[in-house]
Amino acid sequence: MGQAKSKCMNKKINKVQQKFESREEYFTKNGGILLEKQIALSQGQDIGAGQLRILREHEIKEATNDYDPDLVVGSSCDGIVYKGTFDDRIVAIKTAPKPVPNNELVDPDLVVGSSCDGIVYKGAFDDRIVAIKTAPELVPHNELVDLYLTDVSIGMVICHNSMAKIYGCCLETCVPMLMYEFYPNDLYRYLHGNMVMQKPLKWRSRLRAAADIAYALSYMHNALSKPVVHRDITSFGVLLDSSFYAKLASFGYAVAITPGKKDQIWPFHGIPGYIDPEYIETREVTEKCDVYSFGVLMLELITARDPVKMAKRGKDLVDDFASAIQRNGGKEMIDKIVLEEGDMDEIRLFEQLALTCVAKKGEERPNMISVVEELWRIQDHRNI
């Protein structure tokens, strides 16, 4: 009886061990995926790709003080961001929701639930049945791997001053870990965060942020032989440096498209409140999907209203603002900081451009080059 039980246990352990690979195997697998993504993006072009440092797992642990929770500066279902120190500089390090040892053994037969932010196991502790939630890194998570390595490949192939800079990545773990330049602020917190703790974002900074992000998107759409569509434009994907210059981030859902080709299929992705309604209907990814989301971001900048929270309440920032324009010129929805600091002519030009970007049909929207040029004109108007 004891031998039978032992054999059964060994089978389970072997079954679990097959799901885990050594650091070298992770490195080889993740490195191969990363190389494929680089080649697919660059199409053989040499546009001065950024240098990427390949980091060891122990270097990430040291930089984060062994994943010290006090160093966490952000988290979501697709990862945790730590503020760390590496080579005498402050960096941001993104990991899967919770790094765990690669060789940890957990019985997969005990899994009772899973989601993008973790796996729930049925277990025993102190003679009682408990539910144990772990990071998805306990089993290979292909979606997270693809997300992280796409982010890396974009950062390597497309370099722009208004894009978040990636320093390096660790390929030795199931889900790679990424290291970026550290930015102390993000647009979402300044528009929707605790205003008691910080001053509201000035109109001049909002206008400049819009121009910075538009410039980055324009570069993504035009720098390579194929346009690269970001697909994830939101205020929480826009970082701010210490001088409040904006940096576009969150490139994990980006795809390189062939213009005019109708049978291109990618997994559906969109953030409620920002997503292009034409994309919802057709599932066709074009540069105009980004233009729409950017138009929503522009409306968010002048109203300081959260599109995601509005969507959860069954409302839509675009529709509400368009209705306000019809009623009384939209002034009731414009943030008081913008009204106090901005010139009404430039505010009108800004909102008109935003409404053009969120036109229902993609063909009626401008391209990002035109958007950048118009935002520069608005900035010049301010400086006259």
Domains of the chain: residue spans and CATH: 21-99+143-170 (3.30.200.20), 183-383 (1.10.510.10)
Report whether pLDDT(348) > 90.
Answer: yes
pLDDT average, residue stretch 286-312: 97
Report whether pLDDT(126) > 60.
Answer: no
Per-residue pLDDT, 287: 97
Per-residue pLDDT, 27: 85
Q: Does pTM surpass 0.85?
A: no
The verdict on whether 66 is a catalytic residue reads: no
18: its two tokens: 């097959």
What integer best gives the mean pLDDT of the chain? Answer: 83
Q: Are 231 and 283 in contact (CB under 8 A)?
A: no
Per-residue pLDDT, 47: 46
Catalytic residue among 232, 276, 290, 335: 232
How far is residue 376 from each of residues 214, 240, 249, 289, 343, measured CA to CA in Å? 10, 19, 22, 22, 15
How far is residue 295 from each of residues 206, 213, 265, 330, measured CA to CA in Å? 13, 11, 24, 16
